[in-house]
Structure 1
Amino acid sequence: MEKHYLQFLASGYDRGAVLEELMSEYGNDVWSFAYFLTKRRDAADDIAQEVFLAVYKRMYTFRGESSLKGWILTITRNKALNYLKGSFIRKVVLGTDWQKKKEMEPSSASAEQVALDRETSRHVWEQVMRLPLKHREVVVLAFHYELSMAEIAASLQVSEGTVKSRLHRAKRKMEALLKQSEKEGI
């Protein structure tokens, strides 16, 4: 496909036919990689469309310095990371704000590392959701929203001592839940 594709970079060739061939050849790879990074089917669908629109627009800028597949997957990664950094996803998907912004920067971590970090975060948040409400809320307020003990106490209308006690118990329960899920191989 590489050499075959390069001969069609001359102006005047039907870019639509080339795009159709690229989508046929690399469409599954693009969708799978987008899904691997976002863990969302709807996002992978949207990202795949955006990738091939970008490929269509920038078709004549491909210089052959990397493989064609590598070029397309780089575009996919950039689109997926932009999606993950978007304000909508940060507000809607639990856990995205919880990670440090540096982890979401393309230059600070590989795509694999970002995906592994997201998977770990997802697993931790699943365990948080198993906690009783009174423990879950202090964990979310303390670690997700980074409120102080005084702010959490005011928010929950309880004493700071109660917040500290609940947070301590929540940490112990989280430790037990994580150990249990590790034993079970989850």
Structure 2
Amino acid sequence: MQTGPGDNEIINRVLRGEQALYAELVKRYQNFVFTIALRYTPNREDAEEIAQDVFVKVYRSLADFRGESKFSTWLYTIVTTTCITFLRRKKLTVHSLDNEHIFEAADNQNSTFKANQVEQKSKVQVINDAIKLLSVDDARIITLFYQAEQSLEEIGRIIGVDPNTAKVKLHRARQRLKEKMEKYFTEELKDLVG
């Protein structure tokens, strides 16, 4: 949990001239921003570049934050927009995980999964690996709820649905995440539980 002044207080103080405090916001949200960027591009260097771009954009538009929602909700919107712009600029091909060919390729790499199972993974790493197998929409809602700690109301605002629909989408995304974990990470789950 965060200690010290709240996000809104920091923003107000930065806007009043205490620019050095902006580093506290960066520190609080750097993992959040980097994690979201990694959902859009598997390349760590690209994700780091996106994260840097995001924090520059946020600093420049801090005065536009109205405080009607959590800072993290506003930040999430900037991160996703920056990621999409970055991918368009780089002209990277983005494949939907709903495509059957992607799963066929993953099944054919089963030996790679077995080799990786030898490596001891933390619970967080296993979950993050499973999230990478989800569709973009499912990964986004799981990330918003569990990693960004957004409420169903805030998630609804971000994705443009009412809170009840967000709840249903979250439930379905959890089910698909569970299925992916059971299918691809059986050994890791045994190690984590056992």
**TM-score scaled by length of structure 2:** 0.46
Q: Which has the higher contact order (CA 8 A, sep 6+)?
A: 2
The structure number with the bigger radius of gyration is 1
**TM-score scaled by length of structure 1:** 0.48
